[in-house]
Copies of this chain bind each other. A is one copy, B any other.
Amino acid sequence: MKKSDFFELKEIFESHDNILILTHKSPDGDTLGCGFALCAYLRDIGKKANVINNENFPVRYNFLYDGYYVQDFEPQFIVAVDVADKSLFGSHLTRYMEEGAVDVCIDHHISNRGYAKRTFLDGKASAAALILFEYFKTIGYKISDFIAMCLYTAIATDTGCFKYQNTTPKTHIAAAELMQYDIGFEHINRKMFDVKSKGRIKVEQSVINNMEYYFNDRCTMIVITTELMNNCGAEPAEFEGLASIPLEIEGVVIGITVKQRHENVFKLSVRTTEEVDASAFCRRFGGGGHIRAAGCEIQGNLQEVRQIVIKAVAEALGEEYDD
């Protein structure tokens, strides 16, 4: 993004009021970090602003909205942060899926659908928060410790704490600057990456105990049935975000999470290393996504779905398989 883009954005914010900030469904650290950082900034420059999501804000991120309160106003200007497509607003916010409903979108997804009237996109940014950080620096706005904390959280969570391929030198340099504010980055990281609830531990134990290995352990699969979820004694929320587990085993090149949606409908989350194209794998079943992380839905009973998946894995790996 160019300097002039940031000054255009500044002009836009300064010439509007009663601003509603939309975050994407199944909200993560980036969309929430951006949402609350932007809200704090807008309120600081004298605007009325709120942040909303399709669901309640997850407790996991409670430190981002600890001092947040809803302001009373009729929204006149709509800004989406880290939302690639309007379908990601979720079913409670369908009114914003209409043509022209969103005024500004700030995003880093290369796949952004351009649904907003004006989109500020940097597809190379590790996190949408990096765009916001550059915005604040460019316009010379002195961010608060709170805003720094929101931005750091967003950047750290979207990069797996600077671990993943999407991390860039810019990501590290932003972190170096943001951690100099009073944000307690080590507490944020402990909460985001190291700590699990007892329920979550139970769930992970249960799925790992039942992990299935195929093709000389090059493929692993975890299956989460409704029955397992009911019997595990943990909240449904504890079953989110398990998709990375099958790929955590040494030597695995494709890791699959099969989660029961309805009696004969299963959702697949596929994670791969360089050898396999997850997106191509899922497209065969009408799904899609990124090259290392994709998803799709398959109908049938569990036994049928398992057979279909193993057969497709065999083909992807060039392995023999008789079903």
The chain A residues found within 8 Å of chain B, CB to CB, are: 160-165, 167-173, 175-177, 179-180, 185-186, 189-190, 193-198, 201, 205, 208-209, 211, 217, 244, 247-250, 273
User: Hey, which chain B residues are within 8 Å of A162, CB to CB?
Assistant: 161-162, 172, 175
- 26 intermolecular pairs with C-beta atoms under 8 Å apart: A161-B162, A161-B163, A163-B190, A163-B193, A164-B186, A167-B186, A169-B176, A169-B177, A169-B179, A170-B176, A171-B176, A172-B175, A172-B179, A173-B173, A173-B176, A176-B176, A190-B273, A195-B248, A195-B249, A196-B248, A197-B250, A198-B217, A198-B250, A201-B208, A201-B249, A205-B205
Least Cβ–Cβ distance between A219 and chain B, in angstroms: 13
- Cβ–Cβ < 8 Å partners of A164 in chain B: 186, 189
Q: How many copies does the complex hold?
A: 2
Residue of B nearest to A162 (CB): B162
Q: How far is the CB of A210 from chain B (nearest CB, A)?
A: 11
With A163-B161, A172-B175, A175-B172 known as contacts, the answer to whether A205 contacts B196 (CB < 8 A) is no
Chain B residues, CB < 8 A from A180 = 169
Report the separation of the CA atoms of residues A163 and B179 in the bound assembly, to the nearest whole angstrom.
Answer: 11
Tell me the complex Cα distance, A244–B165, Å.
26
Residues of B within 8 A of A198 (CB): 217, 249-250
Who on chain B is nearest to A179 by CB?
B169
Whether A179 contacts B196 in the complex (CB less than 8 A), given A161-B161, A208-B205, A249-B201, comes out as: no
Q: How far is the CA of A198 from the CA of B246 in the complex (A)?
A: 11
* Chain B residues within 8 Å of A189, by CB: 160, 163-164
How far is it, in angstroms, between the C-alpha of A212 and the C-alpha of B196 when the chains are bound? 16
Distance (whole angstroms) from the CB of A149 to the closest CB of chain B: 15
Give the distance in Å from the alpha carbon of A189 to the alpha carbon of B166 in the complex. Answer: 12
What is the minimal beta-carbon distance from A138 to any residue of chain B, in angstroms?
Answer: 20
Name the residue among A167, A172, A189, A248 with the largest chain B CB count within 10 angstroms: A172
10 nearest A-B residue pairs (beta carbon) = A172-B176, A169-B176, A165-B186, A163-B189, A172-B172, A162-B162, A172-B175, A197-B250, A161-B163, A195-B250
